Each structure stands twice: as structure tokens, then as C-alpha cells.
Structure 1
Amino acid sequence: MPTARFNPLVKTLAAPPIPEVQAWKHDYDGRLGPLIDLSQAVPGYPPHPDMLRWLGESASSPSMAGYGEIEGEPELRAAYANWVSDIYAAEVKPANIHVTSGCNQAFMATMMAIAGPGDTVLLTNPCYFNHETTLAMSGVKVGYVDSHAQDGFLPTPEAVEAMINDGVRALAVVTPNNPTGATYPAGLLRELFELCRARGLWLIIDETYRDFLPLDSGSPHGLFAVPGWQDNLIGLYSFSKSFCIPGHRVGAVTAGEAVVTQIAKVMDNLQICPPRPPQAALAKAIPALGDWRRANVLEITARTEALSEVMADAPGWEIAALGAYFAFVRHPFASLSAHDAAHKLAREAGVITIPGSFFGNGLERYLRVAFANADVTTIRQLSARFASTG
């Protein structure tokens, strides 16, 4: 009898990496104290009490039980458009916003709208693995732009241009970066934008961790104020980290109205509409919780400083890039792969990290540390934990 078959584009993908490293928890015997999980990027503090109250109120409202608009709740689209306009000193309209169920879905819906089987999308190496697998399962080819440690794991415009050919539809970057934490300077983003515009490509900027830039850093870039930005720029965002609601799955796309129209076609098949209760809560939270979000940035900054101090005193360990939620750390185990080094750290020191090799090629000496998960006191324990691995 013939055997039913799987889609080979999905079957050939590696299993999701987070569950694999989470399983390493069971290999640690607790000898150095409680496990320190620095793997998946999750807020290390709870949502604001008002956010929880608004979520409860909206979830219990009969008006939220029905279908909503495909592009998102009008109140949230307006609130987010106003926020984006303030951040980037630009005029962004609600019609430029499409709400999604998380930023991974924002990326997938965007890519389905702009690229198809056989097309190529450029990612950096290292890259966020869910971007890579999203493209692979869609039959879209991936071109990798190498980003080197000596350049702060940022791509050069020359390296990007060298990868562009007739089949390339877009360049996708993440800033602050996942996995490295590196933040793209506004000047570099402008160069990449102009390059993409000159070559007829989309520039996709995933700014999931935008809200954790230092408070005095100013606007991340000025691209939304450039006349005609709608023709080749698409911004992606996640509400998960800033509002501590990753389980509620809300993200957003900022794009030209023509792009929003195409994404709506995709979203009608993916989900029909994003979850409505958290959208209603976020529409209130965006204008109301600014002070709370700024206080959280200060807390993340303190965690950044604590990790820098710890790593400076850890023989053989080195921070290669750092920012927002992540550090890309060079480990001292020259004879071990990144996978084995991460497993060793989990097993012997009770510290869970992600192997650098999960994010691309040539990264066997690196581990991704999601330091924002842990408070300053916990981060300071890493000195002893690292020392215990020899």
C-alpha cells in the first residue's frame, strides 16, 4: 500500500531549536543552584497590572468574541500609527499598519506577499532561524550575506550588493539583531535602503527589539520620513517584549497601502483576523504605559552592564556583539562545536544558551545569550557558573 507523504519543503527542515535546548535542563543536577535559562527571549518581568486588567476586560467582552477586521482593530492601527509617527518623526497612517498574530507571522505574511517559489530573499549570516525556515518551507531561496565579527556582525553594503541578482526580491535585516544584539546605525540602514531602492528590491526591517534601545539613542532611523518609502520599505514589529505578552501573539507590519492590501489576502487565509482582546488592550496600553516601558529600558540597560562586567572577568569568554535582549558570546572551548559547548554549559553549569551554529555557518565558537531573561543578581552568578566549566 502506498505511503502518504509529507511536504518535502517541511520534512527536510530541522526540528525547532528551542525545544531541543530546553530538553538539556534535565541533564543538569542542580549542583550550582537553580537553572539559569538564557535561551528563548522572554520578558524577565510581568506585564503592567493595568495591562492585565485591560486584557481581562477585553477577553470577557462579548463584542470581542466575533471576527474582527483582517488588517486589525482600527483602534490599535491608529494607536500604533501615532506611536510609529512619533518614534520616526514621520507621518504614518493607520492604513499603513497591518496587525498580525506575532512578528513571526508578520514576516511570513509579508514574504508570501512579495516572494514566491524560486525567488530569492537575502538574509544575513548569522540570521534569525525562523526567518530562514519560513522562506525554506515556502520554496523561496535564501541568499546569505556574511556579517563578520570584526564588523560587529553588521553587513556591509558592498557585501549586500555582491549578492544581488535578477532573482532577488528583498533584503531582510533585524535590528537590534537576533541573534547577535548588534544594532544597525541609521546611516547603514539608509545605505541599504538606497541600495534596495536603486535595485528595485524590498528592504524588510524587523525591529522587534526596537523599544530596548538606550533612552538617549534617538530615532532608530529616518526611513519612514523619506518621500516614497512605501515603494520598497516594510517594517516589522512585535508587541510581545515591550508589553510582556508573548503568549497573546500580536505583531504589526508598517508598509505602503498597496503592501497592506496584499498582506490582507494572505492573512485572510492564515488567521482571518489577529486575536482581538489583546489588540483592544494594546490600543489603551500604547499611550498609557510609556513611563513603565521607559523604566523597563533602564532595567534592561542595567542587565546589559551586568553581563558586560561578568564577561570581562570570565577567562576565555568574550562578547562579540551586544544589545537589546541578546549577546553573541565567543566561548573558550576551541575543540568543541557550538552545540557541544552549549550542552556542556547546560549540563555542568546549569546555564541554557543557544548554539551559534543554529543561526548560520562559521559560528561554531559562538553562543547566543538572551540576557534580558534574567535579573542583575542572576546575571552576576554567571561568573561562578562559567568558571565551573573549566
Structure 2
Amino acid sequence: MPDSAPLRLAQRVTSLKPSPTLTINAKAKHLKAQGVDLANLSAGEPDFDTPEHIKEAAVKAIRDGFTKYTPVGGIPELKEAVIARLAEDYAVTYRPEQILVSTGGKQALYNIAQALLDPGDEVIIPVPYWVSYPPIVELAGGVPRYLETRAEAGFDIDPAALEALVGPRTRAIILNSPSNPTGCVYSRATLAAVARVAAAHGLVVISDDIYDRIRFDGRPPENILSVAPDLADRVVLVNGVSKTYAMTGWRIGYMAGPEALVKAATRVQGQSTSNPNSIAQMAALAALTGPQECVDRMTAAFRERRDFITRRLNALPGVTCPEPMGAFYAFADLSAYHGARAGDRAIGDSLAMTDYLLDEARIASVPGVAFGDDRFVRFSYASDLATLEAALARLEAALGRLTRG
């Protein structure tokens, strides 16, 4: 037989890289399964179990035979629960036609990009950013435009820098507050300033609120509509149950926004995955409408861990870590050790640092380069205090073995 021509892949995937956070977390779990004493601080998911009343709702759905196709955009009861949750948290009003339930918040973001962007359209993404924002934009033919922020300013958005980045092809800006990876929370003044820029230039604001109820400043959830409700016709909210209710594997997210955009995103979903999992939708319904004390307990635990890990990180020589105000990540600047050595091993960047920590200290973490800032390393504190204590002791010892020039 003649030699077959090599398989040609689509150009859109030739430069597409796997999610580094998922890749590292999978490697960490594999090592632990092999019996390696590993402190996994890479995970982007709560270490708590899904609350019992939510699991029971899923079991009941199975027993009741709720295992068939549902409407593409989600069951009506869940849409109403989302509407009620958004009304309670943000004092905003939506109709069912403005809600789309998806297979996780990531799919909601993907649907939005596919429905909104034409090739060459630009989306402003503040740096540091969640690892999947740029690929989601690029897969829709869009172009990420990166808005730099400064750690010493709490990773806040400079309105003048934002204004300067807006061009004739700019279509949208993505906000994530509380942030992955920094844990920063945008102030009302910052949100109002972004709203003014968005209104002046007709930008769509994509507000990723997935960590909105995991915040440590005592304030209720806030997003751009909290300060600029008149911008509702240009704002799309993205949220889900994964982080708030420890339901990462259930894969239920949702979006709320202008009806035309939601309908377009629903068409995208209808021709890709169709409806989200029927059983998981019933579990999400129980999460949103059931008792909320579980959220308060998890947030209190995260706050205690936040206090511990930031104190320990900032006590290490050469390390600085801005205090996170939400989510469950510490974004620590370890760049003082770039150029350091451990024997023949050189630490030239954040990837080399995380490889060193995995090999020599058995700590799984995520390099800052994956989030757009190579100076940093992200440590998740979605682990119990004993694990964090052991990990920080290992980190201190590993950094102590490095020789800085």
C-alpha cells in the first residue's frame, strides 16, 4: 500500500495547549495514587465534599427516572432558581429567555465567545488572567488584548490604561472578581470606572463571577451591575455551582445577559453539547434553593487558610504575596529566586520553579506564566491546614537550598 499522507489538523488547534492547571492537577493526583507523599496545592477546586442535600437531590433524580434529554438551555425550574439567586445577590431582574445553563462556567464562556466574536475582534483581558480566557477568545477567531496590572496596586484596573487599550476592533472586556489566580476583588470605584469606559465605547462586559460568594471582606457579592445597573443590556454574567457548593465535577454553569446574546449562545450549545446533564441540573437546583449555611462554613474555612498561607509566604525570604480577598488562591512572587541554583539545577522562570518544587519538595503548584505573569507561582489553599502547614515547611526548606547570586 502507498504511504498515506500525514494527518493534517485544523490550524485553530495547532497552537492550542492543554489547560496547565488541569494538567498539573492530574499529574499531582497520579503521583498521589502511586503513593507519593505529595502536597497538592495546584487544585482549582474545593477540598470539601458536595453537601448531602445536594447529593440526595441527584439520587432522587435518578430514582425518579429524570435521565432523559432536557431543553438545551436548561430546565425551567433551574432557570428560575438562577433568576432568584441573581436577584438576591445583585438586585437584578432577568427573564428565563435571558438565562442559559451550560456544562460548567467554561462552556458558558466558550458559547459567549462563539456567539459574540468575528475574526479579528479584540477582547481585553486583565493580567493576571484565568488560563482559559485567551484560548477561548482565540478559538472564536478573536484577539486577546492584555491589560497589565500591578501587584503593589492589588492587581486593580487602571481606567486610563484600559481606555488606552480600546481600539476600533475592541468588542469586550472580561472581568473576574474575586480573581483566579490573585484572589483580588475589584472595588465599587473600579467597577464604576470600567462601566464608564464600556459605556463610552459600546463594549460588552463579560463578568465571570464564579467565586462571587467566596470573599473575605464581609461584603455580599458585587459585580459591575451592582454599580452600573443601566449597563445591563451590555453585560453578560457567568457563574455556576462548582466553586460555591464544592460541585466541580457536576459541571453546571450558567450565563445571564441580553436576550439576543443568550439566544445565540443557546444555538451554539444546541449544536455542540445540547443540554447539560439532567441529574446534575437537579443537584444544582437543590444547591441554589436549599440551605446556604454550607457556603458560609466553607468560606470561613478558606478565610482561616488564607490567613495562614499568606502569613507564612510573606515570612519567607524574598517572597511577597498580596493578601487575597476572595477565592482560594495565593499568588506569590518568587521571582527573587529566578537565577538561583540548586547544584546543577537552574531556576530561570516560574515553570522551572514549579518543576523544582514538585521534584524536590513534593509540592504541586502552578507557574505564573500560565496566568500571564512569570514572576509568580499560584498556590491553592483548597486543602486542610495540616496539608498547608506541611507544604509551607517543605517550601521554606526547598527555597533555603537554593543559592542566589
| TM-score, normalisation: structure 2 | 0.89
Establish whether residue 153 from structure 1 lines up as the match of residue 155 from structure 2: yes
When the two structures are aligned, how many residues end up with a matched partner? 384
**Match of residue 232 from structure 2:** 230
- Residues 65-96 of structure 1, C-alpha deviations (whole Å, 9 max, x = no match): 22211221111111111111111123333333
Q: Aligned partner of 1:380: which letter?
A: E
Contact 1:99 1:252 (8 Å CA) reproduced: yes
1:264 aligns with 2:266: yes
Q: Pick the aligned partner of 1:378 from 366, 378, 387.
A: 387
Q: How does 1:279-358 map to 2 (within 5 A)?
A: 279-322=281-324, 323-331=326-334, 332-335=336-339, 336=347, 337-358=349-370
Look up the equivalent residue of 1:326 and give its one-letter code. Answer: Y
User: 1:46 matched to which residue of 2?
Assistant: 49
Is 2:21–2:44's contact at 8 Å kept on the other side of the alignment? no
**C-alpha displacement at 1:386, in angstroms?**
1.5
**1:366 maps to which of 376, 382, 385:** 376
Residue by residue, what CA displacement relative to the aligned partner does 1:172-192 show, whole Å, maximum 9, x if unpaired?
A: 121111111111112211211
- Contact 2:180–2:327, Cα closer than 8 Å, also in 1: no
2:178 maps to what in 1? 176
Maintained 8 Å contact 1:321/1:329: no
Shift of 1:140: 1.0
Are residue 107 (structure 1) and residue 109 (structure 2) matched?
A: yes
Amino acid at match of 2:309: L
- Please say if residues 127 and 146 of structure 2, whose CA atoms lie closer than 8 Å, have aligned partners that are also in contact: yes
> Which residue pairs with 1:197 in the alignment?
199
Q: Is the 8 A contact 2:117 2:142 kept in 1?
A: yes
Instruction: Tell which deviates more after alignment, 262-271 or 104-113.
Output: 262-271
The residue that corresponds to 1:89 in the other structure is 91
Identity of aligned residues (%): 23
Partner letter of residue 204 of structure 2? W
Query: Quick one: distance in 2 between partners of 1:142 and 1:285?
Result: 34
Q: Is the 8 A contact 1:242 1:293 kept in 2?
A: yes
In the aligned structure 1, how far is the partner of 2:374 from the partner of 2:263? 42
- Give the 3 Å change call, closer, same or farther, for CA 17–11 of structure 1 in structure 2: same
Checking the alignment, whether the CA contact within 8 Å between 1:116 and 1:140 is kept in structure 2 is yes
Supply the distance in 2 between the matched residues of 1:296 and 1:159 (Cα, whole angstroms): 36
Between 84-93 and 260-269, report the one with greater CA deviation.
Answer: 84-93
1-structure distance, mates of 2:31, 2:286: 43
Aligned pair partner of 1:16 in 8, 16, 19: 19
CA distance in 2, matches of 1:367, 1:265: 38
Q: Which residue of 2 aligns with 1:278?
A: 280
Whether the 8 Å CA contact 1:103–1:208 is kept in 2: the answer is yes
In structure 2, relative to structure 1, the CA distance for the partners of 1:321 and 1:136 (3 Å cut) is farther
CA distance change for structure 1 residues 141 and 312 in 2, over 3 Å: closer, same or farther? closer
Contact 1:89–1:222 (CA under 8 A) maintained in structure 2: no
For 1:89-124, what per-residue CA distance to the aligned partner results, in whole angstroms no more than 9, with x for missing partners?
233333332111101101000111111212111111
Q: What are the ranges of 5 or more consecutive residues in structure 1 without an aligned counterpart?
A: none
- C-alpha distance in structure 2 between counterparts of 1:5 and 1:89, whole Å: 51
| C-alpha RMSD over aligned residues | 2.2
SS at match of 1:212: coil
Aligned partner of 2:368: which letter? G
1:6 corresponds to which residue?
A: 9
Looking at structure 2, the residues matched to 220 and 26 of structure 1 have their Cα atoms a distance apart, in angstroms, of 34
Aligned partner letter, 2:337: F
Match of 2:189 in 1: 187
Q: 1:219 to 1:45 in 2, by over 3 A?
A: closer
Cα 1:162–1:350 change in 2 (3 A) is same
Q: Are the equivalent residues in 2 in contact too, given 1:88–1:225 (CA < 8 A)?
A: no
Residues 222, 137 of structure 1: alpha-carbon distance in 2 compared, 3 angstrom cutoff: closer
Tell me the equivalent position of 1:119: 121
Aligned to 1:36: 39
What is the DSSP-based 3-state SS (H/G/I as helix, E as strand, rest coil) of the residue aligned with 2:331? strand
Greater relative contact order, per chain length (Cα 8 Å cut-off, separation 6+): 1
CA contact (8 A) 1:120 1:168 kept: yes
Counterpart Cα distance in 1 of 2:71 and 2:199 = 31
> Conserved in 1, the CA contact under 8 Å of 2:207 and 2:224?
no
Q: Would you say the 8 A contact 1:101–1:274 is kept in 2?
A: yes
Aligned twin of 2:343:
none
Question: What are the superposed Cα offsets for residues 278-305 of structure 1, whole Å, 9 maximum, x if unpaired?
Answer: 1112212222121111111111111111
